[in-house]
Amino acid sequence: MSATGVLSRSKRRVGGAIHRFLFDNNYLCDEYFATSYIVPQRALVCVRITAFVYCATVLVSNLAVNILHKAGWSWGAYFTTLTYFGIVLYYWFAAYNTTRYLLKCRSASIYRSRSGAGVSGRAISPPAPLPPDQLLQLAAASHRVFGTPASISTVDSRTNGPETPELDHIRLLLPSAHTAPSDTVGANSEHCEFSIVSMPGDEAKHLERPSPSTAHQLSLAAQWILYELFTCYAPLVSLVYWIFLFPTQGGLDTPLNAWMGVSMHGVNTVLMGLEVFVFARSSLRWTHVSLVIGVLVAYLALVYLMVGAYGFYVYPFFESEYFGVGGVTVICAMIIDVAIMSWIVQLMVHRWRDAVYPRKWPPIQRIV
């Protein structure tokens, strides 16, 4: 086979893998990235928007201070800066996806209740006509998350009998979010009931499953990758700074520097910890550890590119003049090992959270 044929085949394989990751991935859906186990939807939107504004303000202030001190040229070479920039990007995508999900649910006028519990949720907005594609998005989300199609049944609101020409709403039964994505839903499984108000019967007869938006799936994928990376990197940044750099360099001499230093080396870890334990339902996949290692290796390459181009060492422990080539190699290997250990700890924490939290809080939040 020619080199052109091999390259073309490789491109098709990569393209197919990306397509499967975006559109055939049970975990890449709004229910995992735009909802919380604990926090109601409106509060979650406010928290993530506030976190984005705060982190962006810190980052811009830090850049402005570096420019004033004529150090702007090296600002982007620090791991702390790049990590904090990644956190800002994470909160941008998280705020966008969470807000979009809230508005979509409001426009759908969803009533929520537990099957058999006899308790109905309140209407989150006045009844309004529901386009067929919005109903199908809920059904498609159920199929991606729970691995089984939603049960759609039309009901006459006046008689609760079979479908009639006067149908004025449609009932959508989704499998309970307590069910794992790989599980099947049997006859005795718990369901969540969504009553969709003002769904014309004629439109309900001609429903076709829509394809998810590519832009939206890319937004969810970006949020997921940033979440996996910076839940591991944020503790690493705080650990290295407060143990190795702060005792020798200081840097919190003025109120402005103290605010930026604590925000970028302490608040970062607090924010990502709150995402893990309170605000997020995102999961970690053990196969994605290659992303953590690959980004760190790319950063180490950037460090020594700065040395070769400007003779500038970003951090003192990378200087071979003091530690020798062998010592620097050991330090780089230790940094990668600590990142992998952080990943393993985070993976265990996420599995514990996803096993325990659904027993105490409904995985799909009631919007009130």
Task: Indicate whether 223 and 268 sit together in one domain.
Answer: yes
Task: Indicate whether 236 and 184 sit together in one domain.
Answer: no
What does the pLDDT average to over 189-215?
A: 49
Decide if pLDDT at 182 tops 50: no
Decide if pLDDT at 163 tops 80: no
State residue 211's pLDDT score. 61
Task: Indicate whether 145 and 223 sit together in one domain.
Answer: no
Residues 72-104: b if buried by 16+ CB within 10 A, e if exposed: eeebebbbbbbbbbbbbbbbbbbbbbbbebbee
What does the pLDDT average to over 150-171?
A: 42
Task: Indicate whether 91 and 225 sit together in one domain.
Answer: yes
pLDDT in tens, 143-159: 554 454 555 444 444 44
Decide if pLDDT at 33 tops 50: yes
The position carrying tokens 């910076």 is 230
State which amino acid sits at residue 202: D
Task: Indicate whether 167 and 196 sit together in one domain.
Answer: yes
Of the given ranges (79-88, 136-145, 192-201, 251-260), which has the lowest mean pLDDT?
Answer: 192-201
Domain boundary among 179, 204, 229: 204
| More confident position, 202 or 76 | 76
3-state secondary structure of 358: helix
pLDDT in tens, 44-95: 999 999 999 999 999 999 999 999 988 888 888 899 999 999 999 999 999 9
Residues 346-360: b if buried by 16+ CB within 10 A, e if exposed: bbeebeebbeebbee
What does the pLDDT average to over 328-340?
A: 87
Contact 97, 30 (CB under 8 A): yes
Range of the domain at 239: 25-99+214-360
State which amino acid sits at residue 43: A
Give 183's Cβ-side CA count (13 Å radius): 11
State residue 156's pLDDT score. 40
For the whole model, what pTM was predicted? 0.71
Report the distance separating Cα 273 and Cα 271, nearest Å: 5
Task: Indicate whether 346 and 240 sit together in one domain.
Answer: yes
State residue 67's pLDDT score. 92
What does the pLDDT average to over 309-323?
A: 81
Report the distance separating Cα 151 and Cα 133, nearest Å: 16
Task: Indicate whether 284 and 322 sit together in one domain.
Answer: yes
* Residue 320 included in any domain: yes
* Residue 85 included in any domain: yes
Contact 87, 55 (CB under 8 A): yes
Report the distance separating Cα 37 and Cα 351, nearest Å: 14
